[in-house]
Structure 1
């Protein structure tokens, strides 16, 4: 989603990844995003949208420290709201878990319902 919103993603080898077109979003909700692709200078400078970022405290794939880096980048542009979910892991935000993945979320159904409500409120605000 960040690449669609004008973010410039690079692999560790420096290869550009993402679409060739840019969409104008008013609001963008990101759930445990792949932050490492956007840590190079100027990667997110062209992203001009309000961002709602959620990350799980128990996320081992995209740890909270990476979400905090993204927050610092977007805070300079004044357009981010970060929420760290205490009992969430990386896959907690998926409707269906990948095979053999156990969710850290103790009440998955309630968590997903609240997540959907919160995102809907953000995008329609």
Structure 2
């Protein structure tokens, strides 16, 4: 079981732009949003979205060329704005990073959280988001639909597994109606919710390489449970699992602004002795390395 190398070998070549895109689900008659970070040659100026500062320039022109894509799926009841350290680093290194806000399972609306309906909707909305961004005039010629990865945290890890061929089952043993998308050719799973995939054969159709990163002190998605469930996937090179010493379940979220950090707000807190700021100087580079090896060269 690997541990994370705390060597920062960052070699960014561009800056990051950011813009919002609205996604229309005509079948359900709902609208949700995503934030897209992308490579730009424009000088960086900070952009504030909600309470969070992005090291990215709002609506900057996209750099010339065609770029691989990484779609980000947030955790249950979470936010698409909480993975900006990863999104910024990937976009500065030539990726288009699409972070969607899951309808009915986000910080403002938990009406579908922990439900079968929400679990089935998540991967469908991820695909709809990818289709919308690829069809958007701003990104249409820049996104490479043959080089697409998915990154998911917690319930987002559930979503990522469904997109690459996993067959989830509900807690009542009902087979959930999800559909894989062959465009997703690699997956990064951060403290993934794997209990949906414990039925025999649930992962038989997953062939994409996966990078699994878990927190040693995560009591929500315990590393031993993750390894047990995903062991069939981890037998195939270059898939791997990393356990981060002392990290908790929320350590994978970008550091919160100082005024939002408090002990009674678990997403902003880490186990004693864990340095989230330092970790987020390292985590994006490890993710970039995996995607470059498994997505770009395949």
**TM exceeding 0.5:** yes
Deviation at 1:59, TM superposition (A): 0.4
Aligned length: 125
Kindly report structure 1 stretches of 4+ aligned residues shifted beyond 6 Å.
none
- Report if aligned partners of 1:56, 1:64 keep a CA contact under 8 Å in 2: yes
Query: Counterpart of 1:47 in 2: which secondary structure?
Result: coil
Aligned residue for 2:162, secondary structure, equals coil
Counterparts of residues 101-120 of structure 1 (less than 5 Å): 101=266, 102-104=269-271, 106-120=274-288
2:214 to 29, 44, 55: 55
Q: 1:24 to 1:77 in 2, by over 3 A?
A: farther
Per-residue CA distance 1:37-73 (angstroms, 9 max, x = gap) = 1111110100111110000010001111112213422
Aligned to 2:18: none
Q: What residue in structure 1 maps to residue 250 of structure 2?
A: 91
1:24 deviates by: 3.4
Q: Deviations over 1:16-51 (max 9, x none)?
A: 346434233332110011111111111010011111
SS in 2 for 1:9: coil
Q: TM-score, normalised by structure 2?
A: 0.39
Unmatched 5+ residue regions in structure 1? none
Instruction: Provide the aligned C-alpha RMSD in A.
Output: 2.2
Question: How many Å separate the matches in 2 of 1:3 and 1:20?
Answer: 7
Q: 1:76-125 CA deviation, whole Å, 9 max, x = no partner? A: 45552010011111111112569711212621111012111100110011
Contact 2:163 2:181 in 1 (8 A): yes
* Native 8 Å contact 1:3 1:18 kept in 2: no
1:80 equivalent in alignment to 2:239: yes
Larger C-alpha radius of gyration, 1 or 2? 2
- SS across alignment from 1:13: coil
Would you tell me which structure has more strand in proportion to its own residues? 2
The higher-RCO structure (CA 8 Å, 6+ apart) is 1
Q: 2:198 aligns with which of 35, 39, 48?
A: 39
Mapping of residues 8-23 of structure 1, within 5 Å: 8-17=167-176, 19-23=178-182
Cα distance in 1 for residues equivalent to 2:180 and 2:187: 17
Matched, 1:100 2:259: no
